[in-house]
């Protein structure tokens, strides 16, 4: 039996409204995440950051696929590293509560073999959950690497900063129908050591890992860029990724 419009759960971030600490934070994400799911034929819903595991499980059980969205840095303690004194304080916004919740959601999804799509931080979380590690700041730890924040510097998610080389044998290559695709760049962290069972399936020109897969699962793909902002106009090849994700969730 094939489901119509599978439900896709999208993780959220803590957002300070009006920029003031005293105002209760909102839990949400950019509209581009649910937009991409709708464009692909799915029905998205946001999962708020909550401390009640019973409630979280009920929300999880409603979904047919899990999208791990972008956001702030993952706590370095989760990959056995000490925090580096980074030059930009904005890069050090940690959310242990979000980390715990997303690691639990991912654990359940992997156990149930539900489709998972990780975007930017979401890809990094998949890697950390499976025992991998991260470069906390590419400019600090990999000064020879290209600038992976070019789209952010341009203040334009549609700025195509580089071309990814995709492994022709990968699921991602088969989905996109190509071994090269242009994308944006808005990250200062990247995968350092791959987690158990993961395969790096796309790289930037400087060798930085830009996509991962977990071959022994039905559909687990992570991408380091933000294709959800590109898939309708700027680089429409990315729409195929969201369609494949939603189709896997409907199976």
Residues with catalytic function: 120, 226, 228
Cβ 148 vs Cβ 187: under 8 Å: yes
The per-residue DSSP string of 59-92 comes to HHHH-SEEEE---SBPPGGGGT-PPP--S-GGGG
Helix, strand, coil in percent for the chain, rounding step 5: 35, 20, 45
How would you write 25-36 as a 3-class SS string?
Answer: CEEECCCHHHHH
Contact 9, 65 (CB under 8 A): yes
């Amino acid at each position: 039996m094939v489901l119509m419009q599978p439900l896709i759960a999208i993780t959220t971030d803590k957002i300070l409204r009006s920029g003031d600490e005293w105002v209760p934070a909102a839990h949400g994400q950019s509209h581009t995440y649910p937009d991409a799911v709708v464009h692909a034929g799915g029905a998205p819903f946001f999962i708020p950051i909550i401390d009640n595991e019973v409630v979280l499980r009920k929300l999880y059980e409603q979904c047919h696929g899990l999208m791990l969205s972008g956001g702030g840095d993952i706590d370095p303690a989760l990959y056995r590293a000490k925090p580096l004194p980074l030059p930009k304080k904005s890069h050090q916004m940690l959310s242990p509560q979000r980390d715990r919740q997303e690691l639990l959601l991912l654990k359940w999804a992997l156990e149930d073999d539900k489709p998972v799509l990780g975007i930017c931080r979401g890809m990094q979380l998949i890697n950390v959950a499976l025992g991998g590690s991260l470069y906390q700041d590419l400019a600090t730890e990999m000064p020879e690497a290209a600038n992976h924040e070019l789209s952010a510097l341009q203040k334009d998610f549609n700025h195509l900063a580089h071309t990814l080389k995709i492994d022709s044998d990968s699921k991602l290559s088969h989905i996109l129908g190509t071994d090269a695709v242009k994308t944006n760049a808005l990250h200062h962290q990247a995968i350092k050591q791959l987690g158990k069972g993961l395969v790096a399936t796309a790289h930037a020109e400087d060798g930085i890992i830009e996509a991962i897969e977990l071959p022994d699962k039905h559909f687990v793909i992570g991408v380091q860029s933000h294709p959800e902002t590109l898939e309708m106009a700027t680089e429409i090849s990315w729409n195929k990724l969201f369609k494949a994700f939603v189709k896997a969730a409907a199976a």
